[in-house]
Structure 1
């Protein structure tokens, strides 16, 4: 499959591989259109469903991922075979013409000559149709041949660990769209030793709700401020789930065995009294290790103990600034 064809197929697979939480989110968005028509208790139940679903979504980002691309197989791809010119339409038209035998009425009304002229015209049209079809096939073949060449080149460059190939593959595949939709932004860099680091800006206060919505026994809506400890725990799970998802998406797009993911957010600097963007999690994710985990059942925060990471978190205070992991001390291979 060509490079652009690979991108299209992966994109289709991403769209097809929605987890339950995302499907539920879409259903709730549809119900939102009828919100104004709902009775008070129906509105209350709907708002609680939306709240619970949002919490589920932001804590389960790690549960899905784009399918892996086999760059070794793509590197061995053979170019498409040049199409042969076919004369099928012309041959059919000639066969009809050769088998034409004027009937009684054709002879009676002297239509034989006109019929033969019409059949000759059909042969010319069929010949042009064959030529047009052949040109179209050649055009598609040349495009596929170029895409195959491009795919093989980028696959070999990725397998050789070339930084520009990694960036190109990620930019083309764009595997982080869901995370971006949730309010996080992301940038990617490659260090001199070949290790790739993705930096994620989390926007935690915009993602994690500050209030809890629930139903009273009467069925009416209850809205309360979310306790700080609960907010911090949900935010920690969101950050860790996001980091795991980013790492896994990188492994789906490039053949690396180790990547760095650093999550940053705005925290208060107690020395200056100013809000500053600072790392709150830095983790070196191993392909072998993450592939061995059951991502459906893990606790995203607890799972980080499987990887080298820097994170300082307390339930009562939340995240504190940490240092990025130094890529120079990591084994890229």
Structure 2
């Protein structure tokens, strides 16, 4: 199967706990096909539901994560044993031939020789079938043993902190697909000293709605421009929710106890006066602290206070550029 194939097999077994926002999104997508048949008030209610669900999706990114890969358990998996060539069918055929005793009718109609010859012929046929069954078992064992050896090798390399093994596992698991679907991209780096950093390109202005949709008392749709303060607050919560999600996914894939996530977006460079892609959040997530959080109840922005981080934000002006955390600050010296 090979390295990446084995990781994909592990990925397939990593169940995901789907959050309510996603289930609601699927329900709304089913109803979208019926949109044209809806009355005007139904269409208005549907549009508001879709809008509110989109906001919910953006602010709950951190609530969903893959099941952790248990690398240490993989190390303890028992080696598949090579099948033995027993020849049970042939042995049974030999026994049947050796213990053959002609009955009354066989003697009467002189069938003994014919029956003995048939039993002897069955021995060869049984041996052929035994060989076919053994070969099938052996071929299956070879695949199973190869997969076991690959998994063992992967687990050892991951637990030994192999840089390339980490990067390959992150790439193949495709844990950041949902975030990328929202317009964000991720680059993962293993720095000197083994510190893992994920650089997250947010593109928040393309994701956060610029309008607010609501229902009037009459049931009609109301659409108005979103106040800049509300837009900036949503942007902040989305960025922090994505960062926390990335940290959780990395902890699920790898045994590391600390990862850095640096979010990058297009903000004003005060020294040049131009809009440029710059870090707006850099946070060092510790596994123990992340696992202690009540993820269903936290405010993503407030949750950053639990970690060493760099972020400058004002409700009126939004994010300002910051310096990314120095990975060497967190490197473990031996």
Cα distance in 2 for partners of 1:56, 1:126 equals 66
- TM score, norm. by length of structure 2: 0.86
Query: Is the partner of 2:300 in helix, strand or coil?
Result: coil
Partner of 2:250: 250
Structure 2 counterparts to residues 245-284 of structure 1, below 5 A? 245-284=245-284
The 5 Å alignment of 1:199-218 reads 199-218=199-218
Map of 2:178 onto structure 1:
178
User: Equivalents in 2 of 1:81, 1:16: separation in Å?
Assistant: 32
| Rounded Cα–Cα distance in structure 1 between residues aligned with 2:302 and 2:239 | 12
2:319 is the alignment partner of 1:328:
no
Matches within 5 A, 1:193-204: 193-204=193-204
Write out per-residue CA displacement over residues 102-121 of structure 1, whole angstroms, 9 at most, x where no aligned residue.
Answer: 999999x9999999999888
Whole-angstrom distance in 1 between the partners of 2:14 and 2:328: 34
Residues 184 and 201 in structure 1, CA contact (< 8 A), matched pair in contact too: yes
- For the residue of structure 2 that corresponds to 1:65, the secondary structure is coil
Query: What is the Cα deviation at residue 96 of structure 1?
Result: 9.1
- Mean Cα displacement is larger for which, 207-216 or 79-88? 79-88
Deviations along 1:44-69, whole A, 9 cap, x unmatched? Answer: 11111111111111111111211111
* 1:97–1:116 CA contact under 8 A, matched in 2: yes
Aligned to 1:30: 30
Q: Is the 8 A contact 1:14 1:65 kept in 2?
A: no
How many residues are paired up? Answer: 332
Give how far 1:252 is off. Answer: 0.7
Q: Which runs of 5+ in 2 are unaligned?
A: none
Instruction: Pick which of 220-229 and 126-135 moved more.
Output: 126-135
**How far apart in 1 are the matches of 2:324 and 2:195?**
13
Helix, strand or coil at the partner of 2:316: coil
TM-score by length of 1: 0.86
Task: Find the aligned partners of 1:47 and 1:104 in 2 and give their Cα distance.
Answer: 89
Partner of residue 235, structure 1: 235
Hey, what's the Cα distance between the residues in 2 that align with 1:27 and 1:165? 39
* Cα gap change, 1:11 to 1:222, in 2 (>3 Å): farther
Residues 302 and 137 of structure 1: is their aligned pair in 2 closer, same or farther, counting only changes over 3 Å?
same
- d(CA) in 1 for partners of 2:125, 2:132: 10
SS in 1 for 2:276: strand
C-alpha displacement at 1:314, in angstroms? 0.7
Aligned partner of 2:225 in structure 1 is 225
Query: Corresponding residue for 2:285?
Result: 285
Which ranges of structure 1 fall in alignment gaps of 5 or more residues? Answer: none
